Chain A
Amino acid sequence: MTATAVALPAPVVEMIGVRRFFEGPPEVRAINGVDLTIGQGEYLSIVGPSGSGKSTLLHLLGLLDNPTGGVYRLDGVDTMSLRERRRAVLRGERIGFVFQSFHLLDHRTVLENVALSMVYVGVPRRERLARARVALERVGLSHRMDFAPTTLSGGERQRVAIARALVAEPSLLLADEPTGNLDSANAEAILQVFDELHSEGMTLAVITHDAQVSRRAQRQVRIVDGTLQW
């Protein structure tokens, strides 16, 4: 598996000795020395028991949180030296998030929810809406564009979230337990979308503790007590 990753041209993610300690007392070493490389177009799953540091790692990967130490390069950009403003821009540009609980805005239509991910990137409004429509078609929800998210099923909501994550054309799609709130049929639909995205060259990192979900990925890494195990 590792050989495949090395063979890829330029890594999207390069983590060397990354640590994330939460100041105590007691101090929690949530991530304790992670070396991780994710090549372009890779489909990676991160599995591990509850409390092992999966979500923390994902937050670090997504620039939502700052490592206590180590090196993290995203698309070759050294993120450690960046100010928060630049990190926000980089986050908006290069990362797409899919959360277990969807995080859709209830008061906005499905289309607006998807278009929202291009607001902070500075895409003009007209273009935003056009691209949001394409992304929603892409996940098979063109008939739900003007609906309120609250009227959708869990599977549909997660597909809206995926459309939102990929519409800004990120370098890396991060998903934290994307199927955690879904039944198996809906989960399968989501995994199928991921498969398709992977086949189209998208780089994906999916966090899960579901072995079924993990197996769909091209490469699996295991995290225990804040450290990766191969």
Chain B
Amino acid sequence: MVTQAGPPDPAGGPSTSRRRRRLRSRPAVRDLLDEALAGVAARPTRLILTTLGTVLGVAALVGTVGLGQTAAGQITQRFDLAAATRVVVQPDDKGGQEGEAATQLPWDAPDRIKRLNGVEAVGTVSNLEIGDDLVQNVTGLDNGAGKALQVMAGSAGLWDAVRATLQTGRFFDQGHDQRADKVVVLGKHAAERLGINRVDSQPAVFIGDEPYTVIGILESVSGRAELNDAVIMPNGAARTAYDLESPDAVEIRTAVGAAQLIAEQAPIAIEPNNPSTLRVDAPPKQGAVRKGVESDLNALFLLLGAVALLVGGLGIANVTLLSVLERTSEIGLRRALGAARRHIAVQFLVESVIVGFLGGLLGTAVGVILTVSVSWIRDWTPILDNRLAFGSPLLGAFIGLVAGTYPAWKASAIQPITALRGT
């Protein structure tokens, strides 16, 4: 019920219709933002001090996650294919879990393993007890060194399983094994010790009094390094000459990523009744490697970052609350100028969000610089998730939002007459 009528007077008694329209109008969002920005900009020193906690917290988080990602990237780059696909099964010295006696590996263990999906190659390997026998070349030289040479036995599949490569000659095969041929393959160092570097003339080595024909010399093996220092004969010969009862271990080469699965299945395949009597050595999960590296250092820094963020949030809340108390007269004035409670609340909330956002922005910059610097020093390739870089300032803003809620509510609850009283 507006009772005003007649032409507007010079002092600005505006027309009824304009009054009506303006009564419904609201301050633009942009204006409230401007007011908040001006409020923040008015106290630059305070702004810096207020953001400090958030800067530290976000910097710690970004730095930690960034360095974690970078380090994880390095691990992947150095990812050792050979180690990650090697599974070794051998009898558990301590016997089974339920107290069964230690088992012997069956000779057909490779055949049983070969059936598993994900197995690329499999073979047995054993150390031979040769007693007082010496390993000598034809000339009978190298007596002293002969004692140190290990004699081993393997199946034909061993070579593929340990990724063996040859300097010269050939590996023994299933035929040699079955016929119990007296042939040997020399490890790289063993060949040097025995002074043998060619096999085309079919040189022989003596183990005890028995001659064995050298058919190949190894260049390299992976995993089972002792093969380099050994004289290796097929299982067939070992069973005949040295009564080898069972293989010492089964070497398995798996497809990439299948090692864990094979490690679970292999004992059951070999020893379905007592799988627990077998010990399995398998590479740790890829994820586990990465986690292991990250968790050591990162848990600490993430915790540190979280604490810094909490402190940062409390800092913002504290300073904003202080600022509210200090600015009661401003609050009273704004209310007198027509601000509703929520306008006051929004202003202080936005101020606090701006402070948090700036802290987050600065903290992200510091964290990125940290990551890049450390990477540069360690000669790493810095890896940083884009989402992290862009999300962190928002995290700061969110902290500002949470921190500013209570002070903003406090500010909006201040009675204008209280705020305007006195000074």
Contact = CB atoms under 8 A, between A and B. Distances in A.
Given A88-B338, A92-B338, A200 B332 contact: no
Nearest to B42: A107
B1 interface: yes
Given A76-B4, A122-B28, A201 B341 contact: no
Interface in B1-44: 1-6, 9-14, 19, 22-28, 30-31, 34-35, 38, 41-43
Interface string A107-150: 11000100011011110110000000000000000000000000
Nearest to B12: A169
Contact of B11 (A75, A77, A90, A201): A201
Interface residues of A, number: 49
A140 to B, nearest CB: 18
B86 interface: no
Contact of B337 (A90, A116, A201): A116
A64 B417 contact: yes
A120 B42 contact: no
A117 B337 contact: yes
B338 A93 contact: yes
B332 A103 contact: yes
Contacts of A9: 5-6
A101 B420 CA distance: 9
A35 to B, nearest CB: 18
Given A59-B417, A76-B1, A103-B420, A40 B338 contact: no
Nearest to B334: A120
B420 A119 contact: no
Given A120-B337, A200-B11, A93 B4 contact: no
A34 to B, nearest CB: 17
Contact of B336 (A91, A93, A122, A202): A91
Q: Name the residue among A9, A119, A202 with the largest chain B CB count within 10 angstroms.
A: A119
A62 interface: yes
Given A41-B9, A76-B3, A77-B2, A89 B337 contact: no
Given A65-B417, A77-B1, A92 B11 contact: no
Nearest to B333: A103
Contacts of B42: 107-108
Contacts of A116: 334, 337
A168 B337 CA distance: 9
Nearest to A55: B421
A99 B340 contact: no
B10 to A, nearest CB: 5
Interface in A164-194: 164, 166, 168-171
Nearest to A197: B11
Given A75-B4, A77-B1, A103-B332, A41 B423 contact: no
B18 to A, nearest CB: 10
B19 A88 contact: no
A169 B18 CA distance: 12
B22 A121 contact: yes
Given A91-B338, A93-B23, A122-B26, A101 B10 contact: no
B11 A41 contact: yes
B181 interface: no
Contacts of A169: 11-12, 14
B28 A92 contact: no
A101 B38 contact: no
A112 to B, nearest CB: 8
A166 B31 CA distance: 20
A10 interface: yes
Contact of A119 (B11, B27, B336): B27
A122 B25 contact: yes
Interface string B66-91: 00000000000000000000000000
A75 B3 CA distance: 7
B27 A171 contact: no
Given A40-B13, A103-B420, A125-B31, A120 B339 contact: yes
A10 B333 contact: no
Interface in A62-93: 62, 64-65, 75-78, 84-85, 88-93
Given A91-B335, A120-B334, A120-B339, 6 more contacts: A41-B11, A59-B417, A88-B343, A91-B336, A97-B337, A119-B27
The 5 closest A-B pairs by CB, nearest first: A92-B338, A122-B25, A169-B12, A107-B42, A76-B3
14 contacts: A10-B3, A62-B336, A64-B416, A88-B343, A91-B337, A103-B329, A103-B333, A108-B38, A117-B337, A117-B338, A120-B338, A121-B22, A166-B12, A171-B13
Interface of A: 9-10, 40-41, 55, 59, 62, 64-65, 75-78, 84-85, 88-93, 95, 97, 99, 101, 103, 105, 107-108, 112, 116-117, 119-122, 124-125, 164, 166, 168-171, 197, 200-203
